[in-house]
């Protein structure tokens, strides 16, 4: 199959290389000439596991790069639209990039094409896409429009694409259904998984990728509803964590108990500083606006957004309580990306927290395995420094803050960390350690939804009430 993928961001680039991996001839298109030049040279502008390997496996063979939408449409049977749909000032998805691409496609169609919307868009976007194509000169019999939402997680996007929980194709005609089914057949018939060169993935539950065929409106709703539901799980467990912390329970134990119910499951039940990234914040807000347009007040989504924002404020309160004042304090920060295994800093809780700390007069020494270059572009350079490893970031600091769940941050040499900090205080926004483990290592350890852990050398005889606990924490700060 000849495929064009318009847009080479996280979704578009992953889709293009994975379609090539499935045996299709792919032309990846982007208006950014510098990005296309990098890709033509085999350089990948985003951090994503397996992506560099696949780009260089197929570049110049099944995978080519271009800046011309006209060329891409002319040479392809299927055209996937994967351009950005950022949040507008009203909270709606800004579909101007989708419209602009549709206008270009319309002028380039010379024979029958299937136009597939893969970006995250509100319901009825396919209808608007169809109208735009017609208004800009495309003949009604020269195209069909379909929806094929993506369910990719940054950091695991390649394996998410090749080993999907489900494939969703939204079609309103037989031609679109037939073409999309053919494109994904190596996954749905399992033939890709039997190839020796297949990208490995351990523990995949399916011999053949499941496929769900719907109409276009249902497919569009599936995407928004899925992201909203996952965001809801995160906000729910964070709300429960706030209760657990108040009563002295352990949210990790609570999450395990909740998640062991097969109707609920363990995923997205990790308490922390809330969700971020390019999808959940804008998609939840956009879905709420869609509900408003349908004359339905989706109050549940409003609360999901509120709880998520509150988690940052509650974490900052932990930092203030642990250090008393922030002005002049030196803080070692581990993590800048919105999650581990990616360099994406869009809507990163870490950056939001760091910005507040800097405004309150703290000095920050930050480390992230891959996100530092992008963070430098957006963070105020005043009073922030960047380290080459976690221990350098923590050196001489009044406290260490863990803000991103990189695996290496969960495997720190605690003895070495204890030897370089000024004060043994760790404030963990991702619950990467057991409180008892940190206390044994000599740290006053604050986390989400769990009691503060204090080393025995700082504890008091008798009942450990809140006054004694505060005294111990203050001793760690000033003693």
Q: For domain 2-214, give the fold.
A: Rossmann fold (3.40.50)
The parts of the chain modelled with pLDDT lower than 50 are 460-468, 475-479
2-214 and 215-479: same fold? Answer: yes
Determine the pLDDT at residue 472: 53
**Residue 463: per-residue pLDDT:** 43
CB-CB contact of 407 with 381 (8 Å): no
Q: How many separate helices (H) and strands (E) can be counted in the chain?
A: 19, 14
pTM: 0.91
DSSP class of residue 468?
H
Q: How far is CA 284 from CA 92, 94, 340, 421, in A?
A: 10, 14, 21, 39
Q: Look at domain 215-479 and name its CATH class.
A: alpha beta
Domain assignments of the chain as residue spans, ordered by start: 2-214, 215-479
Sheet bearing 78-81, strands edge to edge: 63-66, 25-29, 2-6, 78-81, 113-117, 143-147, 167-170, 211-214
Give, in order, the Cα–Cα distances in Å from 61 to each of 7, 21, 54, 198: 20, 11, 12, 17
Output the six-digit token pair for 172. Answer: 């309103």
Question: What pLDDT was estimated at residue 382?
Answer: 82
Which active-site residues does the annotation give?
279
Alpha carbons within 13 A on the beta-carbon side of 138: 26
């Amino acid at each position: 199959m000849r495929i064009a993928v318009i847009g080479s961001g996280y979704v578009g680039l992953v889709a293009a290389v994975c379609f090539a991996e499935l045996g299709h001839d792919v032309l990846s298109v982007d208006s950014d000439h510098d990005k296309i030049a990098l890709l033509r040279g085999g350089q990948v502008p985003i951090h994503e596991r397996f992506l560099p390997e696949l780009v260089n496996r197929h570049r110049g063979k099944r995978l080519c790069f271009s800046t011309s939408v006209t060329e891409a449409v002319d040479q392809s049977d299927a055209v996937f639209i994967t351009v950005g749909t950022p949040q507008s000032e009203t909270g709606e998805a800004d579909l101007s990039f989708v419209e602009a691409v549709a206008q270009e496609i319309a002028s380039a169609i010379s024979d029958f094409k299937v136009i597939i919307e893969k970006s995250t868009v509100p319901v009825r976007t396919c209808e608007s896409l169809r109208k735009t194509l017609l208004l800009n000169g495309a003949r009604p019999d020269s195209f069909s429009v379909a929806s094929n939402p993506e369910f990719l997680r940054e950091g695991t996007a390649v394996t998410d694409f090749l080993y999907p929980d489900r494939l969703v194709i939204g079609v309103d005609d037989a031609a679109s259904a037939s073409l999309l089914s053919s494109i994904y057949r190596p996954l749905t018939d399992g033939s890709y998984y039997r190839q020796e060169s297949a990208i490995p993935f351990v523990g995949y539950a399916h011999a053949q990728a499941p496929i769900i065929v719907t109409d276009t409106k249902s497919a569009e709703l599936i995407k928004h509803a899925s992201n909203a539901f996952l965001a809801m799980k995160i906000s729910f467990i964070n709300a429960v964590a706030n209760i657990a912390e108040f009563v002295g329970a352990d949210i990790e134990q609570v999450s395990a108990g909740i998640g062991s119910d097969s109707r609920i499951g363990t995923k997205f039940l990790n308490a922390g500083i809330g969700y971020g990234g390019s999808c959940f914040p804008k998609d939840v807000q956009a879905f709420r606006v869609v509900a408003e347009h349908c004359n339905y007040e989706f109050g549940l989504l409003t609360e999901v957004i509120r709880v998520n924002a509150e988690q940052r404020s509650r974490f900052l309160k932990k930092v203030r309580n642990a250090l008393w004042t922030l002005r002049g304090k030196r803080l070692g920060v581990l993590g800048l990306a919105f999650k581990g295994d990616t360099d994406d800093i869009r809507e990163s809780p870490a950056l939001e927290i760091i910005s507040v700390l800097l405004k309150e007069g703290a000095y920050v020494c930050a480390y992230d395995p891959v996100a530092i270059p992008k963070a430098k572009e957006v963070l105020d350079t005043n009073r922030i420094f960047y380290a080459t490893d976690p221990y350098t970031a923590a050196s001489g600091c009044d406290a260490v803050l863990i803000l991103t769940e990189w695996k290496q941050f969960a495997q720190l040499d605690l003895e070495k960390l204890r030897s370089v900090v000024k004060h043994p205080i760790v404030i963990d926004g991702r619950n990467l350690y057991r409180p008892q483990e940190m206390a044994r290592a000599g740290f006053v350890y604050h986390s989400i939804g769990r009691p503060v852990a204090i080393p025995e050398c700082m504890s008091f005889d008798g009942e450990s009430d809140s006054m004694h606990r505060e005294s111990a924490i203050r001793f760690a700060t000033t003693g």
